Amino acid sequence: MAANDQNDDGHDTSNLPDLGDAIDIVTFSQILEMDDSEDDREFSKSIVFGFFEQAEETFEKMDTALEARNLDELYRLGHFLKGSSATLGLTKVKDSCEKIQRYGKKENLDGTPELDEALCLSRITETLKTVKAEYADVEQTLKNFFNST
């Protein structure tokens, strides 16, 4: 077995395609291990496609909360989507959602308080554009993985 076929946790990732740097292959492989068969991937596919629906609904709610300038709701939604994306190993989406969560909590990225709500909203506006693009990329990558474009 090649040296890079297993990670430090002993999870074999040798039979998986390169999914790029936006997806943590070790975390994603743990979801795939729950499938009964590598041929149909019914279980993991249902989890991933359920996430797609959840993410799109959450983005709509974020847009509404942003229009309403509701930082508390943006904090909550960022936190929610951060957890869901982390479960699948969607690292870039998770990291951007963490930024939205911090800005919604009126914090800078280092956790220090940011009292300027307009600045926080501006940062969320930019980060929301970024996370939607990151999401679109991983959505396409995962749809290709599951042969469901």
Per residue in 57-105, pLDDT (tens digit) is 999 999 999 999 999 999 999 999 999 999 999 999 999 999 999 999 9
Of 78, 83, 148, give the one whose Cα is nearest residue 120. 78
Q: Produce one character per residue of 80-114: b if its CB has 16 or more CB atoms within 10 Å, e if not.
A: bbbebbbebbbbbbbbbbbbbbbbbbbbeeeeeee
The answer to whether the CB of 66 falls within 8 A of the CB of 78 is no
pLDDT at 8 over 80: no
Q: Taking the CB of residue 130, how many other CB atoms lie within 10 A of it?
A: 15
| 12 pLDDT more than 50 | yes
Name the percent of the chain lying above pLDDT 70: 89
Cα 8 off chain centre by = 23
Q: How confident is the model at residue 17 (pLDDT cuts 50, 70, 90)?
A: confident
Q: Which are the contacts of 71, defined by CB distance < 8 A and separation ≥ 6? A: 103, 104, 105, 106, 117, 120, 121, 124
Give the pLDDT score at 1: 34
Sign of CA dihedral 129, 69, 79, 123: positive
* pLDDT score, position 2: 38
Mean of pLDDT over the chain: 91
- Please report which confidence band the pLDDT of residue 7 belongs to, taking 50, 70 and 90 as the band edges: very low
The pLDDT value given to residue 39 = 83
